Structure 1
Amino acid sequence: MRKFSLSLALLGLAAVPAAAQSIGGTYTVAGTNFDGSSYGGEATITLTSETTCAIHWETGGSSSDGICMRNDDAFSAGYVIGRAVGLVVYKVQEDGSLHGLWTIAGKEGNGTEMLTPN
């Protein structure tokens, strides 16, 4: 019985959920703007602790930088684009991709964004 319990415990450790995996790295960006038009580019996430990070986007001919944080399968980032403050909230998927919604202060509505690990 003890071997069986130990085997189950080890099996449980091998099945670490996506939320426990690192999200640092480079991602391909695919998104939509407020008007539904699409954009693409690249994002780089640099870990600064187990839960916090810095994020840099190169999309649609512009770049922006922000801070980010992860809590289980929730991942959010605050950023500045031009003189406006923005917010994006992603859900971390089991395949490591991030699916989210973003907005900019003073604007109505939101865009969508998916980050796919490279």
Structure 2
Amino acid sequence: MKRVILAAAMVAGLGGPAMAQRQGGYAVAGQTPDGQRYSGTLQMEAAGGNTWRVVWSVAGDSARGLGLLIPEGPLLVVGYLAGREIGVVAYAVQPDGRLLGTWTQGAGGGVGSETLTPAGGSTGK
């Protein structure tokens, strides 16, 4: 179950001039496919071009991923490895810097959701 939860803790994307402001830490809040809520942190680092390295920490577990920012969305899509399971998450990049994500992980599938909020920043809400 921890792996499913941590899988939900995924990445962030950026658009235009705000890109430099999106690198760094995020607070993670999400819900697993079976309805369990979780929270944690995420670190995102530019990897060149529109690619991003991401590391999640949720419930004492961690996951690593590589994401691609699709500017036309803007949408950030991240593939990741959590333990021995692979997963994918897609985040809609919001004007206030939050990332609204939908994810799935492992052979069991199911769909979870999560929100990434820039650490130390206000979303205006």
The interval holding the TM-score normalised by the smaller chain is 0.7 to 0.9
Tell me the CA shift for residue 50 of structure 1. Answer: 3.0
Q: Distance in 1 between matches of 2:97 and 2:108?
A: 30
Asked if 1:80 corresponds to 2:81, the answer is yes
Question: How many residue pairs end up in the alignment?
Answer: 101
Identity %: 35
Q: Distance in 2 between matches of 1:63 and 1:75?
A: 20
Gaps in structure 1 of 5+ consecutive residues? 1-17
CA RMSD after TM alignment: 1.1
DSSP-derived class of the 1:48 partner: strand
In the other structure, the counterpart of 1:60 is 59
Q: Distance in 2 between matches of 1:90 and 1:59?
A: 18
Q: Distance in 2 between matches of 1:103 and 1:91?
A: 15
In the other structure, the counterpart of 2:117 is 116
Q: Distance in 2 between matches of 1:48 and 1:108?
A: 28
Q: Distance in 1 between matches of 2:44 and 2:58?
A: 14
Tell me the CA shift for residue 40 of structure 1. Answer: 0.3
In the other structure, the counterpart of 1:107 is 108
Gaps in structure 2 of 5+ consecutive residues? 1-13, 120-125
In the other structure, the counterpart of 2:15 is 19
Q: Distance in 2 between matches of 1:114 and 1:105?
A: 20
User: Which aligned segments of 4 or more residues in structure 1 are displaced greater than 6 angstroms?
Assistant: none
Structure of greater relative contact order (alpha carbons < 8 Å, 6+ residues apart)? 2
TM-score (norm 1): 0.81
DSSP-derived class of the 2:48 partner: coil
Q: Distance in 1 between matches of 2:30 and 2:15?
A: 23
In the other structure, the counterpart of 1:12 is none
Q: Distance in 2 between matches of 1:86 and 1:33?
A: 13
Q: Distance in 2 between matches of 1:46 and 1:108?
A: 27
Q: Distance in 2 between matches of 1:50 and 1:95?
A: 22
Asked if 1:69 corresponds to 2:75, the answer is no
Tell me the CA shift for residue 82 of structure 1. Answer: 1.4
DSSP-derived class of the 2:113 partner: strand
For residues 30-64 of structure 1, what are the alpha-carbon distances to aligned partners after superposition, in whole Å with 9 as ceiling and x for unaligned? 00111111000000000011300100000122101
